[in-house]
A and B are shown apart, each in its own frame.
Chain A
Amino acid sequence: MSIHKSTREMLLSVVDDMEIISKELIENITAAKHLKLSTSDHSILIELLINKDKELKSFLTKAEEQAKINQKMETLKAEVHAQDQEIQQLQKQLKEAEQILATSIFQARQKLQSIAKANKRPVPSEELIKYAHRISASNAVCAPLSWQQGDPRRPYPTDIEMRVGCLGRLSDLPLNGQMVGPHSNITDLHRPSGQQTETIPPQVGGPFAWHPSGEIHMSVTGQGTVPINTHKQETEDVEVMSTDSSSSSSSDSQ
């Protein structure tokens, strides 16, 4: 019984018992003679009262011990609380570290993916160099040394490239003298080239248009195109360009 009942309950019940016994005793003494209990019963009651007092004392000793245990528990609780705080702090730090690591792992995975992608379709260095030559060939200051007539390579931007560029847009303007301020075309520079090539029909290539034959046709409004013989001049240009040995163009190596 004492296992399930708290010490406080036990103490209070002992006090209750003592109250009842004392009440009984007092009533017995004050009662009329014929109603009085026998002496033996009386002494039993007194003995019971004394036993209850002893019980009370033993419970009080127990309570004293329990108070000490309680203090120990309080100490432990305080310590547990301190540990809880520390654990929370550590968990917070770990979470931060996890977040940082997750970000770097994500970035690293992205890099690994791009590496794998690059490994899947490797570009040989020669091809890269070739491409570089192509760029330099069309943007160089002079033609390659080995350039000959009929060579499709050009030391200047080709017609398609021109059309894609800003100058190609300028030539789209109508020829009837309506001049638009140069500033209006600046915004066109930022247009994506792909969009421009789509919007410009190949027929309206400006007053001069390249044809696969290499001839320049000048378009005159209402009269179709007028072919211009540029062969002689081109040859001369080539000669001038090829003699320019001081040029630092990388196309020399071709």
Chain B
Amino acid sequence: MDVEIISQEEPANPQFTVADLDIEILPVIYDILRSIEKDPHDSQKAKESADTSQKILELKSKLESARAQINKLPGIEYSKQEQLQKLETLRQQLRLKKELIQKYRNMCTFDSQKV
């Protein structure tokens, strides 16, 4: 619920999510392998090899784009355990701060003897 609110509140900075990823590498490799494994006729060979090298280039760019997209993904700077630990720390911090505020608010009683 909160997550939705936040994502709605920040339309200027849309976050890149896993759903937006386009890193299907296997089909590209499959395509390359299939095009090489074909036993082409000599006349077609030149054309096929050009096609294959094109596909290899495509694979390279796909891998590069996969790396770039992974780098754009938010919240994966830590491993999941570390992240959960940090989340817990934040919760703890928030709890302590709330307690402190409560303490400050209830401080209006004065001990006249101390004064």
A residues whose Cβ falls under 8 Å from a Cβ of B: 2-8, 10-12, 15, 18-19, 22, 25-26, 29-30, 49-50, 53, 56, 60-77, 79-80, 83-84, 86-87, 90-91, 94, 101, 105
**A83 and B94 in contact, given A6-B78, A8-B71, A65-B80 (Cβ under 8 angstroms):** yes
Chain B residues lying within 8 Å of A11, measured Cβ to Cβ, are 70, 73, 76
Cross-chain contact B75 with A67 (CB below 8 angstroms)? yes
**What total of chain B residues lie within 8 Å of the partner, measured CB to CB?**
50
Tell me, yes or no, whether B46 is within 8 Å of chain A by CB: no
Min CB distance, A204 to chain B, in Å? 59
The residue on A at minimum CB distance from B7 is A71
Q: Mark B93-107, 1 if CB is under 8 A from A, else 0.
A: 110011011001101
The residue on B at minimum CB distance from A104 is B115
B residues whose Cβ falls under 8 Å from a Cβ of A: 2-3, 6-7, 15, 17-19, 21, 23, 25-26, 29, 32-33, 36-37, 56, 59, 63, 66-67, 70-71, 73-84, 86-87, 90-91, 93-94, 97-98, 100-101, 104-105, 107, 115
Min CB distance, B51 to chain A, in Å? 14
Cα A207 to Cα B105 in complex, Å, equals 79
Min CB distance, B113 to chain A, in Å? 13
**A76 and B6 in contact, given A12-B70, A26-B32, A87-B104 (Cβ under 8 angstroms):** no
Min CB distance, B115 to chain A, in Å? 7
Cross-chain contact A8 with B70 (CB below 8 angstroms)? yes
Cα A5 to Cα B98 in complex, Å, equals 33
Please tell me which one of the listed residues A29, A66, A91 contacts residue B76 in the complex, with CB atoms under 8 A apart. Answer: A66
Please tell me which one of the listed residues A2, A56, A62 contacts residue B23 in the complex, with CB atoms under 8 A apart. Answer: A56
Chain A residues lying within 8 Å of B76, measured Cβ to Cβ, are 6-8, 11, 63, 66-67
